[in-house]
Structure 1
Amino acid sequence: MADKPALSHITATGEAHMVDVGAKADTERTAIAEGCVVMQPETLRMILDGNAKKGDVLGTARIAGIMAAKKAHELIPLCHPLLLTKVSVDIEPEDTLPGLRVTALARVTGKTGVEMEALTAASVACLTIYDMAKAVDRAMTITGIRVVEKTGGKSGPFSAADRGD
């Protein structure tokens, strides 16, 4: 049986620690994450028409996602604080869900990746959509939170599409 790869945040004795990235080279690193909010078609129409009682659902979710990416290190215990150079959150309707697909991009020139920042942005944008529309559709589902692409760093590029995902 092949050895499992070691977890970088766990010592040989099982203690959690923050990885020392000081000796790593600065490279441009990008991560794209996504998530979906599945809802009733009427809820989707209400959001797209701008008729939610709490206000602009898409605009608020976009800002919430961007703000969340900047705070990932405050939320995830062993996550490094990063000087992000770009964060974007795009939200598109998908009638086939029905619902909204959130795509978050995070970029940095640094010593460690930005997957956690992109995932945090996508997650919080989805949570914000849920919060702003829950009064009319409590059965909404947040699903499919995942990294779809990453570039930069020692491990090289990753694409969920290359794996058939």
Structure 2
Amino acid sequence: MADTIPAASAAAQQAEEKQAETSEPSEVRPARSAGGRRIVCGIDGSEGSFAAFKFVRETLVNPERGDRVTLVRAFEPMNPEEAVYSDHERRILQEEDEARRKEARHELQQLSELAGTIIEGDPPDAIQEYVAMHPVDMLVVGNRGLSAVARLFLGSVGSHLVANSPVPVTVVPQAGTAPMYA
């Protein structure tokens, strides 16, 4: 389920509506639109994601060329049906999910007037699916600064996307961390 804030164009809005109609990603990637590059920047409120956004804004985007940026905020919703919860606990979990959605919408609105989309699902898979279903030239994400051992056990959104994305991926380290090599 995607929640778009604000639509960058009628074409972007149509792409979002088409995504909502199908449950599976298309086998053929959408064609790139005329004009500049289309860059997706994954954000999650972390220092690393803000470093990625700053990198996109200050280094990659050239408005004169017609470059466009879409900020994507992915989160995995809680599933109160998977465990035994009382009605009260289930209601609390649903309220927490709604609060996370509101926080994500607010975060996107505060960052810029660029197009922003909130997608639900495991972040690496949800972002990969979003990129596969939209005309995107490049994906930029931040690095949480995990150690090699932590990445081994916890995984890394950046590592997953570098290995599986259909478009080039840039992983931006947060200040004070060593670059991540995938």
TM above 0.5, yes or no, is no
More strand per residue: 1 or 2? Answer: 1
Q: Higher Cα Rg: structure 1 or 2?
A: 1
More helix per residue: 1 or 2? Answer: 2
TM-score, length of structure 1 as denominator length: 0.31
TM-score, length of structure 2 as denominator length: 0.29
